[in-house]
Amino acid sequence: MQNLKVYNTLSRKKEIFEPLNAPFVGMYVCGPTVYSEVHLGNSRTFISFDIIFRYLSHLGYKVRYVRNITDAGHLENDADEGEDKISKKARLTQLEPMEIVQKYTLDFHHVLRLFNNKPPSIEPTATGHILEQITMAKDILNKGLAYESNGSIYFDVDAFNKEFNNEYGRLSGRNVEDMISNTRELDGQSEKRNPADFALWKKASPEHIMRWDSPWSIGFPGWHLECSVMSSKYLGKQFDIHGGGMDLKFPHHECEIAQNKASHGKKEPVKYWLHANMLTLNGQRMSKSTGNTLLPHELFSGENDKLSQAFSPMVVRFFILQAHYRSTLDLSNDALLAAEKGFQKMITATHTLSTLKAAQESSLNIDELIAKWYAAMNDDFNTPVLIAQLFDGVKLINNIKDGKSTLNKVDLEKLQKEFSSFVFDVLGLKTEAQTQNQGDEILNGVMKTLLELRKQAKDNKDWTTADLIRNQLAELKIKVTDTKDGAIWEAE
Amino acid sequence: MQNLKVYNTLSRKKEIFEPLNAPFVGMYVCGPTVYSEVHLGNSRTFISFDIIFRYLSHLGYKVRYVRNITDAGHLENDADEGEDKISKKARLTQLEPMEIVQKYTLDFHHVLRLFNNKPPSIEPTATGHILEQITMAKDILNKGLAYESNGSIYFDVDAFNKEFNNEYGRLSGRNVEDMISNTRELDGQSEKRNPADFALWKKASPEHIMRWDSPWSIGFPGWHLECSVMSSKYLGKQFDIHGGGMDLKFPHHECEIAQNKASHGKKEPVKYWLHANMLTLNGQRMSKSTGNTLLPHELFSGENDKLSQAFSPMVVRFFILQAHYRSTLDLSNDALLAAEKGFQKMITATHTLSTLKAAQESSLNIDELIAKWYAAMNDDFNTPVLIAQLFDGVKLINNIKDGKSTLNKVDLEKLQKEFSSFVFDVLGLKTEAQTQNQGDEILNGVMKTLLELRKQAKDNKDWTTADLIRNQLAELKIKVTDTKDGAIWEAE
């Protein structure tokens, strides 16, 4: 456990992971704003933190994993302007905002279940913590680090930086002066003393339908405030890990730190800041406006002209884990096809592994191999290195099957336990049979028998039987293709 | 649409269903308190309202269906005393209350998904509406129909009944004088002016960990208040249907009406009050303390000594729908076995139906049969009568298959459309293949072919092929039994 190192965005280096109150670990990850289907880039972020949750649990830590649902307060642009994303969707679709929230929260849970992500321990919502947000805004106001302007409350970045040693900007490495000169002038900006200031509470315009009573106005909380409130409510004023997508580093996480310090004092609210990198598509940034985009359900059904076929959630998960969470990753049809092969090879090895027989002596040191798996994950959760080294395990498994290597009983059991636990528990992969259901495994077996009978009938020139099989499979929409290695089949 | 009648608990009779703003229908159903696994009785209630949601949608109504999650405020007994149910579970299991909420909300959603319930349009939580609850309590206090006592706010039932013509008690048919004499004296009761009064806000005792700031005390909302707040927030001050289990009629729904009227005026907040009846087990009330209890997952796995086998969620759903939602229903192993047969018969008929061929003439009037299905559902959602009459449809389908009846093309298509839509859309049943996945349908087809080949081999005394098939199926743990109607198979 003491060997785990994590890259801390705050210090810009890998640090030894030492939780504040081991074996307990508090981890907060910024969740989705539920106004549209979860996109693949977000899915990657949540799969990355699922791996971190799983590995910390595997090491024996008791992790309280909090991931929020943003169901109010997230405006169309980050400078506190524009419509609330959920209200806008509600207006466009003529639904109640909370109907939008329900629809896309269910979709989000559904997609993450398909990806075999474990649910977080707590999944709090912004609307579930309006009172707590008002309380924190009041507190910051009382401390002189925020001001009221026309019914809205803004965080005073200048005042904060004077009192807190220019803390604002440290996480993202920005300097407030630059930020001010880079900020476009926006409508309503004049309410702010300084363009870098950000809203803790916004007075609702008449058309803004998601609104609550506060001491200052009928309005709604600023987007950044919910995460400060919910992380400290459920994990305490100081906690271990805060994660999210790279794009949240600024302004969202910078604002969170400022709010937490303004309210709770100078101690670092978060010990380790972890950020997951972007996913690109065919070499370019995903973007709805250019059409360079792909939704999870399109991947699973294959219904997108960027794809030659459907890819199962487990293949996509495997593909994502083949890159380190801090690297950008480019998704393409070819890369997914390659991932599919790799995934199948690994899963086949887990089946083979369960059939291996122990020998008297071990022909190699199994502990060394297993130690490499831990070393990979201990190096900032390096899943691509882990996968490469698990493939050394696959080679070993096949060698044992072929009689080229041997393991004694103790070593074989160790291999079986550790290989399965890295593949299934840590990487969170599932065999297709586990994914779909046991039926598929049976179907594969039955089809194998049927194709054998078909071959036998053809060899015997028993055309009646061969035709019977062909016709019945055609009726079931099963396509059989003869290859030099025998017949293969697929269901349409 | 104008023929639908619903039994209204408030008037104690069946009334023609006329929504306030057709084609829109607002429906609120009291959801679970998420402190333990959802029990079967609750599942029955939610399946009952799922049918109502589905049938109203089938008739063309645009239903906004709101079902809450109680994640705070529900105390151990209904007289505003005892620990919060969720806090207590959190204390016993050493978890944060919101970890309890997350765990059992996920379990609840999982079980209802297995039962093929449609999710509600909005699923609000009590903790998501603390501010609104404080606002409503303030409003009732301002109107002189509640009073503060030691930091808590109680609804003044006597004052309300004087102003509102003895309204409190009308829904449940109780009389306040009786209620007072039947109420046990309880600790802390002395805060109330009258034992029939109920809490709108409770000051938190030091050990009560779920707590929020209010004008009166740090405390938490009374259990009844959340439903008044959330139903009127999302459906308006007057809406069409309010549902829940029979046990909620008093005091919960009685208190809701009182709160809504106290705050919003004399108009009826709810047009139709619908209540689902109890589920008993082997003739007796389900109860944890006597051990006469059964959880949904025990039914699905068969792991309870009251059961001879596992029952699929669809069999249980079918069983539940064989009784009217307002009747008590007794669950037993024998009743489930019988339901399983009925369910299979109905599903088989849906398969047969898709293979039927049209004739020149119809030998009977299909419109009359279909009209009976609507008549059954229009009579207060009478699913047992519907199911009985769908079995007349099953008989007809089998007669057509056997050439004993005929339908012309138009009539056959009508039968296909309406039979499927009653079975799948209205009753919400699924074939096992739909339940598990498409793979099963393919597996059934492939197995059929394989068993035909096996028969053929045996008829031809081709023992090599017959043995090959037998051995390979044995390896896949598929058991084949020869019966007088041919071979049947099952996977172990």
At A491, the pLDDT band (50, 70, 90 cuts) reads: low
The b/e string for A199-237 (b: 16+ C-beta within 10 A; e otherwise) is bbbbbbeeebebbbebebbebbbbbbbbbbbbbbbbbee
- At A430-449, the pLDDT tens digits run 986 554 444 455 777 788 78
Residue A330 φ then ψ, to 5°: -105, 125
Q: Does residue B441 share a domain with residue B413?
A: no
- Cα separation of A102 and B190, whole Å? 42
What is the structure's pLDDT at A181? 58
Judging contacts by C-beta atoms under 8 Å, the chain B residues touching residue A473 are 446, 449
- Higher pLDDT among residues A43 and B287, named by residue: A43
- At A195-214, the pLDDT tens digits run 999 999 999 998 888 999 99
Q: Does residue B225 share a domain with residue B209?
A: yes
- Cα separation of A323 and A335, whole Å? 12
Size of interface A-B (CB pairs under 8 A): 126
Contacts 24+ apart (CB under 8 A), A140-149: A140/A200, A140/A259, A140/A262, A140/A263, A141/A200, A143/A262, A143/A263, A145/A262, A146/A200, A146/A262, A147/A193, A148/A216, A149/A191, A149/A192, A149/A193
The b/e string for B233-271 (b: 16+ C-beta within 10 A; e otherwise) is bbbeebbbbbbbbbebbbbbbbbbbbbbbbbbeeeebbb
Q: How far is B449 from chain A (nearest CA, A)?
A: 7
**Mean pLDDT throughout B366-394?**
98
Q: Does residue B236 share a domain with residue B112?
A: yes
Q: Could you tell me the CATH number of the domain that includes residue B381?
A: 1.10.730.10
- The verdict on residue B215 lying in a domain is yes
Q: Does residue B369 share a domain with residue B452?
A: no
- The verdict on residue A16 lying in a domain is yes
Lowest mean pLDDT among A369-373, A452-456, B166-170, B176-180: B176-180
What is the structure's pLDDT at B480? 76
- At B246-268, the pLDDT tens digits run 999 999 999 999 999 999 999 99
What is the structure's pLDDT at A485? 62
- Cα separation of A374 and A59, whole Å? 10
CB A49 within 8 A of CB A276: yes
What is the structure's pLDDT at B166? 93
| Number of domains within chain B | 3
Q: Does residue A162 share a domain with residue A45?
A: yes
* Beta partners for residue B122, in sequence order: B66
- The answer, yes or no, to whether residue A37 has pLDDT greater than 50, is yes
Domain housing A235: 5-276
**Mean pLDDT throughout B92-116?**
94
Judging contacts by C-beta atoms under 8 Å, the chain B residues touching residue A454 are none
For residue A122, what is the DSSP state?
A: B
Lowest mean pLDDT among A201-210, A404-413, B158-167, B284-293: B284-293
What is the structure's pLDDT at A479? 73
- Higher pLDDT among residues B291 and A23, named by residue: A23
- Cα separation of B159 and B146, whole Å? 8
- Cα separation of A441 and B443, whole Å? 10
Mutate to test the interface with B, among A64, A69, A98 (most CBs of B within 10 A): A98
Please give the residue of chain A at the shortest CA–CA distance from B432: A439
- The verdict on residue B282 lying in a domain is no
B220 HSE (CA, 13 A, CB side): 26
What's the mean pLDDT when you consider all of chain A? 91
DSSP secondary structure, B260-320, as one string: HHHHH-SS-SEEEEEEE--EEETTEE-BTTTTB---HHHHHHT-STT-SS---HHHHHHHH
Judging contacts by C-beta atoms under 8 Å, the chain B residues touching residue A235 are none
Residue A239 φ then ψ, to 5°: -145, 175
Q: How far is B123 from chain A (nearest CA, A)?
A: 7
Judging contacts by C-beta atoms under 8 Å, the chain B residues touching residue A439 are 436-437, 439-440, 443, 491
- At B181-222, the pLDDT tens digits run 555 554 555 789 999 999 999 999 988 889 999 999 999 999
Q: Residue B452 CB: number of other CB atoms within 10 A?
A: 16
- The verdict on residue A323 lying in a domain is yes
- The answer, yes or no, to whether residue B236 has pLDDT greater than 90, is yes
What is the structure's pLDDT at B145? 98
Residue A299 DSSP SS3: helix
Q: Would you call B131 and A131 a contact, using CB atoms and an 8 Å cutoff?
A: yes
Q: Would you call B128 and A124 a contact, using CB atoms and an 8 Å cutoff?
A: no
Name the domain boundary from A391, A411, A433: A433
Q: How far is A215 from chain B (nearest CA, A)?
A: 12
Name the domain boundary from A418, A433, A448: A433
What's the mean pLDDT when you consider all of chain B? 91
Residue owning tokens 């056997």:
B402
Residue B64 φ then ψ, to 5°: -100, 110
Angle at A357 between CA A356 and CA A362, to 5 degrees: 105
Q: Does residue A448 share a domain with residue A377?
A: no
- The verdict on residue A286 lying in a domain is no
What is the structure's pLDDT at B437? 42
- At B30-42, the pLDDT tens digits run 999 999 999 899 9
What is the structure's pLDDT at B435? 47
Q: Does residue B466 share a domain with residue B408?
A: no
Q: Does residue A467 share a domain with residue A388?
A: no
Q: Would you call B131 and A130 a contact, using CB atoms and an 8 Å cutoff?
A: yes
By percentage, how much of chain A surpasses pLDDT 90? 74
Q: How far is B129 from chain A (nearest CA, A)?
A: 7
The residue among A128, A101, A98, A117 whose CA lies nearest residue A29 is A117
Residue A205 DSSP SS3: coil
- The verdict on residue A282 lying in a domain is no
Does the bond joining A221 to the residue before it have cis omega, within 30 degrees of 0?
Answer: no
> What is the Cα gyration radius of chain A?
27
CB B98 within 8 A of CB A122: yes
What is the structure's pLDDT at A183? 54
Q: Would you call A436 and B437 a contact, using CB atoms and an 8 Å cutoff?
A: yes
Q: Does residue B368 share a domain with residue B245?
A: no
DSSP run (H or E) holding A411: helix A409-420
Q: Would you call B436 and A440 a contact, using CB atoms and an 8 Å cutoff?
A: no
Q: How far is B194 from chain A (nearest CA, A)?
A: 31
- The answer, yes or no, to whether residue A468 has pLDDT greater than 90, is no
What is the structure's pLDDT at B173? 92
Q: Looking at this predicted complex, what is its ipTM? A: 0.83
- Cα separation of B491 and B478, whole Å? 4
Lowest mean pLDDT among A174-183, B41-50, B228-237, B343-352: A174-183
Entry pTM: 0.86
DSSP run (H or E) holding A479: strand A478-483
CB A124 within 8 A of CB B101: no
Residue B456 DSSP SS3: helix
DSSP run (H or E) holding B7: strand B5-8
Q: Does residue B353 share a domain with residue B448?
A: no
**Mean pLDDT throughout B113-132?**
97
- The verdict on residue B284 lying in a domain is no
- At A45-80, the pLDDT tens digits run 999 999 999 999 999 999 999 999 999 878 877 667
Q: How far is B378 from chain A (nearest CA, A)?
A: 28
DSSP secondary structure, A368-381, as one string: HHHHHHHHHHHBTS
What is the structure's pLDDT at B207? 83
Judging contacts by C-beta atoms under 8 Å, the chain A residues touching residue B456 are 465
**Mean pLDDT throughout B302-309?**
92
The b/e string for B454-482 (b: 16+ C-beta within 10 A; e otherwise) is beebbeeebeebbebbbebbeebebebee
By percentage, how much of chain B surpasses pLDDT 70? 93
* Beta partners for residue A69, in sequence order: A125
Q: Does residue B157 share a domain with residue B124?
A: yes
What is the structure's pLDDT at B2? 59
- At B399-450, the pLDDT tens digits run 999 999 999 999 999 999 999 999 999 999 998 655 444 445 577 778 878 8
Q: Does residue B196 share a domain with residue B70?
A: yes
Q: Could you tell me the CATH number of the domain that includes residue A43?
A: 3.40.50.620
B166 Rama class: left (phi>0) / alpha (psi -120 to 50) / beta: left
Name the domain boundary from B276, B310, B343: B276
- The verdict on residue A291 lying in a domain is no
What is the structure's pLDDT at A436? 46
- The answer, yes or no, to whether residue B139 has pLDDT greater than 70, is yes
**Mean pLDDT throughout B213-236?**
96
At B338, the pLDDT band (50, 70, 90 cuts) reads: very high
At B79, the pLDDT band (50, 70, 90 cuts) reads: low
Q: Would you call A446 and B446 a contact, using CB atoms and an 8 Å cutoff?
A: yes
- At B140-193, the pLDDT tens digits run 999 999 999 999 999 999 999 999 999 999 999 988 777 665 555 545 557 899
